[in-house]
Structures are given as structure tokens and as C-alpha cells.
């Protein structure tokens, strides 16, 4: 993902696709496959290929439900926020980012530097697009979601 963060989206997407293929073909743990799908989603999002990023996100959601892994779920919700923000749906983005923030905070989930940068950039973009009250309301609604509600919200294409 560092390659993508530095603006090299095409090689970054290829590397993430290779990582996912390797994880799937070697019988890696479900956590590694989920992490590879999330990374691929971020690579697609950085390339402004939001449809492909959304596919990577949706491919993850059933695995995330089964795993119940808080840190990876927070990363996936951050990806959902990044996709929504990129597509101009800032209310949805703020709600997903609020849900991700709640998971990161409640479970002391660690973020990689790349995800910290994505979080900061997405947060800044959303704040610039919404007035204070709209942002605060959407953010609080996201933070109040349970894990199951947040995953359902991320999966629900009618919210897009």
C-alpha cells in the first residue's frame, strides 16, 4: 500500500492483486485473505476505481462477520468511508468513518501508517464537504452502530 500512497496506483493495484492471489492459492488464514482484500480495495480506491474497490469491500463482509475481527472490520469500514467520500456520498462516508473510529477506539485497534493517512485524508475531505451539524450527526450515528449494524450498513448498496 505504500506504493499506492506514493501515487503509483497501477503498480500498487497489481501488487495487491498478486498478494490476494497468493493468499488465496496457498490456503492462508481467512484473516490474511481479508487483509489482502482490504488492501486491494484501498489500491482501487486510490486509483479512483470505486466500483472495483466496492467489489473488494463486499467480498470481505461475510468473512468479517464470521471472524468478528474488530481491527480488520474497522479497516473495512474506513475503506467504505473512503469509497463513499470518493463517490461524493459524504453523509455515508461520515457515518462509516464514525463506525470505524468507534471500533478503533473501543478495541484499541492498531492502524498501519497507510491507514492512518487514509483516515486523516478521508476525515479532512468529509469535514470540508459537510457543515458542522451534518458531520456531527452522521459521525455520531456511525459511532453508535454495533459491529453487526456497521457491517450491514457497509453492505447495503441502497445507502450508496
pLDDT confidence bin for 7, thresholds 50/70/90: low
Domain span at 95:
2-159
Taking only the tens place, the pLDDT of each residue in 20-54 is 999 889 988 999 999 999 999 999 998 999 999 99
Number of domains in the chain: 1
d(CA 84, CA 89): 5
**C-alpha neighbours within 13 Å on the C-beta side of residue 43:** 24
Q: What is the pTM of this model?
A: 0.87
Query: Tens of pLDDT along 88-129?
Result: 999 999 999 999 999 988 887 666 777 778 888 999 999 999
Give the domain CATH number at 28: 1.25.40
pLDDT of residue 118: 83
Query: Which residues fall within 8 angstroms of residue 1, CB to CB, at 6 or more apart?
Result: 12, 16, 39, 42, 43, 112, 114
Band of pLDDT at residue 68, cut at 50, 70 and 90: confident
Amino acid at each position: 500500500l505504500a506504493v499506492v500512497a506514493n501515487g503509483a496506483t497501477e503498480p500498487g493495484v497489481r501488487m495487491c492483486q498478486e498478494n490476494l492471489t497468493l493468499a488465496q492459492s496457498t490456503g492462508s488464514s481467512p484473516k490474511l485473505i481479508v487483509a489482502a482484500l482490504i488492501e486491494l480495495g484501498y489500491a482501487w480506491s486510490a486509483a479512483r476505481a470505486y466500483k472495483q474497490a466496492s467489489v473488494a469491500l463486499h467480498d470481505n463482509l461475510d468473512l468479517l462477520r464470521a471472524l468478528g475481527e474488530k481491527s480488520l472490520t474497522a479497516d473495512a469500514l474506513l475503506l467504505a468511508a473512503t469509497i463513499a467520500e470518493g463517490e461524493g456520498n459524504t453523509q455515508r462516508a461520515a457515518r462509516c468513518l464514525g463506525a470505524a473510529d468507534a471500533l478503533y477506539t473501543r478495541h484499541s485497534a492498531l492502524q498501519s501508517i497507510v491507514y492512518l493517512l487514509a483516515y486523516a485524508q478521508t476525515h479532512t475531505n468529509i469535514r470540508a464537504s459537510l457543515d458542522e451539524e451534518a458531520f456531527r450527526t452522521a459521525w455520531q450515528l456511525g459511532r453508535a452502530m454495533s459491529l453487526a449494524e456497521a457491517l450491514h450498513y457497509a453492505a447495503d448498496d441502497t445507502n450508496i
